[in-house]
Chain A
Amino acid sequence: MISSDRPSQRLILEAGRADRQYWRDLWRYRELFFILAWRDVAVRYKQTVIGLAWAFVRPFITMVVFTIVFGKLAKLPTEGAAPYAVLVFAGLLPWTLASSILSDASGSVLTNSQLVSKVYFPRIIIPFATVMVGLVDFCVSLVILAGVMLWYGVVPDWHILMLPLFVALAVLVAIGPALWAAAIVVKYRDFRFVIPFVVQIGLYVSPVGFSAKVVPPEWQLLYSINPMVGVIDGFRWAILGGDSPLYLPGFAVSLLVTAFMLWLGIRTFRRTERGFADLI
Chain B
Amino acid sequence: MSDTVIRADKLGKKFIIGHKVQYGGILGEALVRSARGLVRRGADMLHGRAVVEGDEVEEFWALRDVDFEIKRGEVVSIIGHNGAGKTTLLKILSRILEPTLGRVELNGRVASLLEVGTGFHQELTGRENIFLNGAILGMTRREVQARFDQIVDFSGVEKFIDTPVKRYSVGMYARLAFAVAAHLETEILFVDEVLAVGDSEFQKRCLDRMSAVANEGRTVLFVSHNLAAVAALTKRGIVLKGGQLLFDGPIDAAISRYSASLSKGKADRDWGRGHHSAIVSADLLDAQGMPTDTYEPGTPFNLRVEVETTNMPGLGLELQLRDANNLPVGFYSSSIFSQVALPSEPGRHVFTLSLQPLFLASGDYSFDIATNSLTIVVDHGVSNAIPFNVAASSPGGIAYDFKQSLGNGVVALQLAAPLRIERKEREPA
Contacts and interface: CB of A to CB of B under 8 A. Distances in A.
Our verdict on whether A and B bind, yes or no, reads: yes
Most chain A Cβ neighbours within 10 Å, of B110, B112, B138: B138
Interface stretch (A39-47, A155-163, A208-216): A39-47
B106 A11 contact: yes
B105 A10 contact: yes
Given A12-B104, A39-B121, A277-B97, A118 B109 contact: no
Contacts of A278: 15, 50, 97-98
Given A13-B103, A187-B50, A274 B118 contact: no
Interface stretch (B124-132, B311-319, B331-339, B409-417): B124-132
Interface in A118-145: 118-121
A2 B146 contact: yes
Interface residues of B, number: 48
B103 A3 contact: no
A62 interface: no
Contacts of A1: 185
Contact of B103 (A12, A36, A188): A12
Interface in A222-280: 274-275, 277-279
A69 interface: no
A13 B51 contact: no
B186 A120 contact: no
B210 interface: no
B65 interface: no
A9 B97 contact: no
Contact of B143 (A3, A120, A277): A3
Interface residues of A, number: 41
Interface in B89-113: 91-110, 112
A14 interface: yes
B51 A3 contact: no
A117 B72 CA distance: 27
A20 interface: no
A35 B185 contact: no
Contact of B114 (A9, A14, A118, A189): A118
A122 to B, nearest CB: 10
A14 to B, nearest CB: 4
A188 B51 contact: yes
Contact of A9 (B51, B108, B138, B142): B108
B119 A47 contact: no
27 contacts: A2-B142, A3-B187, A4-B187, A8-B108, A8-B109, A10-B106, A13-B93, A13-B103, A14-B102, A15-B102, A32-B136, A35-B141, A39-B121, A39-B124, A39-B132, A42-B124, A115-B118, A115-B136, A118-B118, A120-B94, A120-B95, A121-B136, A188-B45, A277-B91, A278-B97, A278-B98, A279-B50
Interface of A: 1-4, 6, 8-17, 29, 31-32, 35-36, 39, 42-43, 46-47, 114-121, 187-189, 274-275, 277-279
